[in-house]
């Protein structure tokens, strides 16, 4: 029971306090194409992990993901499109299962 309460409390902290900061950090990293990885474990084996790869990313980010989430399979999807201003936009999504 205590673990469930802890999970709920930590999820609430993430949702209310960390997530808004993450949105700002992700937006800045996207704007300046800064590779990043952040992972939060709000209960045993309950993770939120965000990775933004850009051209400057090194293989160390993949190593870090494997250390943070050992034994999980990673799939990366790259979505490319053109925005209303004619600028090419690329979104890279890594799914960890």
Segment 23-75, tens digit of pLDDT: 999 899 889 988 888 888 877 877 788 888 777 677 787 788 788 877 766 66
- Joined together, the tokens standing for residue 39 give 């992972």
CA distance 33 to 55: 8
Quick one: pLDDT at residue 21?
Answer: 93
DSSP state of 87: -
Would you place residue 1 in the very low, low, confident or very high pLDDT band (cuts 50, 70, 90)?
Answer: very low
Specify the pLDDT at position 62.
78
Strand 88-96 relative to strand 74-82, pairing: antiparallel
pTM, 2 dp: 0.63
The number of residues making up the chain comes to: 97
Give residue 45's pLDDT: 77
């Amino acid at each position: 029971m205590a673990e469930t309460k802890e999970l709920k409390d930590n999820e609430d902290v993430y949702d209310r306090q960390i997530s808004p900061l993450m949105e700002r950090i992700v937006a800045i990293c996207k704007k300046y194409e800064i590779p990043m990885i952040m992972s939060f474990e709000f209960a045993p084996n309950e993770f939120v992990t965000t990775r933004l790869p850009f051209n400057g990313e090194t293989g160390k980010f993949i190593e870090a993901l494997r250390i943070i989430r050992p034994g999980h399979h990673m799939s990366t999807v790259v979505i490319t499109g053109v925005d209303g201003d004619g600028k090419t936009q690329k979104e890279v999504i890594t799914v960890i299962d």
